[in-house]
């Protein structure tokens, strides 16, 4: 699972929203996000039973994580300037992607977004991590909860049309390098969220994400076109016929 993918940790396709124009200022910072982890759900995700010796450590860690975690996101409401053969121009930025051109056909507005679980859980010295993976898994869960909260915010604030999101890095023709243009177009992401990028376009903190939220009636999720077939976060099966419809050929063996 790519770091920025919410995978099965959060809700990718969400209910109903109407993306009306002139409904908002074009940039929204959500820095007081309430996305607490649920102990039972976290234990299930980590395959830890209540009888396990580790359960008490987990319970303490979840409580502490909920005290310190500060997930946050920025949304930017932008124009779809042009859709062409295998590309889309959004907010003046051209993205060469057949998936995007296909999915945004007919859309006039979309949201850019950047989101992060932050590094507060990773850096907290009071969270005991005897297994060496607990903080990573908790941070991953925080990001999933933050995704669900961000989508709920959009749904609750702007109406009732179905929406979905796509993220760079998990789609065959929208790789991580697209983060540079996307994050640049959102602007202020480092200042507002503390997110930076390495030369490949991967975001730091590691459990951060970015992408586009768009109106969608089909129940689209990135996973349906992602060739990372053994990903533990996969939410829906790979859809080979849809892949062939968009890309004109069956996927090769190479993973994204
Ligand atoms: S299957 Fe692909 S899109 Fe889905 S969570 Fe895994 S890496 Fe992300």
| pLDDT tens-digit series, residues 207-239 | 999 999 999 988 899 999 988 888 878 889 999
Q: Which residues constitute the domain of residue 243?
A: 7-247
- Sign, CA torsion 215/216/222/223: positive
Distance 74 CA to ligand 1 centre (A): 22
pLDDT at 19 over 80: no
Residues 6+ apart with CB under 8 A from 212: 90, 100, 104, 110, 111, 112, 113, 165, 166, 182
Q: Does residue 256 lie within any of the structural domains?
A: no
CATH number at residue 19: 3.40.109.40
Residues 6+ apart with CB under 8 A from 38: none
Q: Does residue 1 lie within any of the structural domains?
A: no
Distance CA 80, CA 93 (A): 10
pLDDT digits (tens, 9 = 90+) for 108-154: 999 999 999 999 999 999 998 877 789 999 999 999 999 999 999 99
Instruction: Evaluate: CB of 231 within 6 angstroms of ligand 1.
Output: yes
Q: Does residue 126 lie within any of the structural domains?
A: yes
pLDDT digits (tens, 9 = 90+) for 32-56: 888 899 999 999 988 899 999 889 9
What is the arithmetic mean of pLDDT over 190-198?
A: 96
Structure tokens of 138? 């908790």
Give CA angle at 105 (101, 110), nearest 5°.
Answer: 85
At 159, is the pLDDT very low, low, confident or very high (cuts 50, 70, 90)? Answer: confident
Report the nearest-CA residue for atom 3 of ligand 1: 223
As for how many domains the chain has, the answer is 1
Q: Ligand 1 test: best mutation among 234, 254, 256, most atoms within 8 Å of CB?
A: 234
Among 88, 96, 238, smallest CA distance to 177 is for: 96
Distance 179 CA to ligand 1 centre (A): 17
Report the nearest-CA residue for atom 5 of ligand 1: 7
At 16, is the pLDDT very low, low, confident or very high (cuts 50, 70, 90)? Answer: very low
Q: Is 53 exposed, middle or buried (0-12, 13-18, 19+ CB in 10 A)?
A: exposed
What is the arithmetic mean of pLDDT over 227-252?
A: 88
Distance 7 CA to ligand 1 centre (A): 6
Mean pLDDT of the chain: 87
Distance 25 CA to ligand 1 centre (A): 31
Instruction: Evaluate: CB of 99 within 6 angstroms of ligand 1.
Output: no
Ligand 1 atom at minimal distance to the Cα of residue 5:
8
pLDDT digits (tens, 9 = 90+) for 64-98: 999 999 999 999 999 999 999 999 999 999 999 99
Bond prior to 205 in cis (omega within 30° of 0): yes
Q: Does residue 255 lie within any of the structural domains?
A: no
pLDDT of amino acid 235: 87
Distance CA 176, CA 2 (A): 10
Residue whose entry in the numeric block shows the structure tokens 């991967």: 202
Q: Does residue 27 lie within any of the structural domains?
A: yes
Report the nearest-CA residue for atom 6 of ligand 1: 1
Q: Ligand 1 test: best mutation among 170, 171, 208, most atoms within 8 Å of CB?
A: 170
Q: Does residue 2 lie within any of the structural domains?
A: no
pLDDT at 256 over 80: no
pLDDT at 20 over 60: no
pLDDT of amino acid 18: 45
Q: Does residue 62 lie within any of the structural domains?
A: yes
Q: Does residue 79 lie within any of the structural domains?
A: yes
């Amino acid at each position: 699972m790519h770091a920025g993918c919410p995978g099965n940790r959060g809700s990718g396709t969400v209910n109903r929203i109407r993306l009306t124009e002139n409904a908002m200022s074009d940039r929204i910072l959500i820095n007081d996000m309430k996305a607490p982890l649920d102990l039972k759900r976290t234990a299930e995700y980590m395959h830890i039973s209540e009888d396990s010796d580790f359960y008490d450590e987990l319970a303490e860690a979840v409580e502490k994580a909920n005290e310190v975690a500060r997930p946050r996101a920025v949304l930017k409401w932008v124009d779809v300037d042009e859709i062409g053969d295998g590309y889309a121009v959004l907010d003046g930025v051209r993205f060469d992607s057949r998936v995007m051109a296909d999915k945004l056909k007919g859309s006039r507005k979309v949201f850019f977004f950047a989101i992060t679980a932050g590094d507060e859980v990773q850096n907290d010295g009071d969270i005991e991590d005897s297994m060496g993976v607990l903080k990573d898994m908790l941070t991953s869960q925080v990001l999933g909860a933050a995704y669900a909260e961000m989508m709920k915010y959009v749904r609750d604030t702007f109406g009732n049309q179905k929406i979905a999101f796509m993220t760079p890095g998990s789609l065959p023709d929208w790789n991580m390098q697209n983060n540079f243009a996307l994050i640049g177009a959102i602007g202020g992401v480092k200042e507002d969220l503390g997110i930076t990028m390495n030369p490949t376009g991967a975001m730091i903190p590691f459990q951060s994400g970015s992408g586009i939220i768009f109106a969608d009636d089909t129940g689209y999720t990135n996973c349906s076109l992602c060739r990372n077939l053994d990903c533990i976060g996969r939410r829906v099966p790979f859809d080979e016929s849809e892949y062939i419809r968009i890309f004109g050929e069956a996927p090769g063996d190479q993973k994204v």
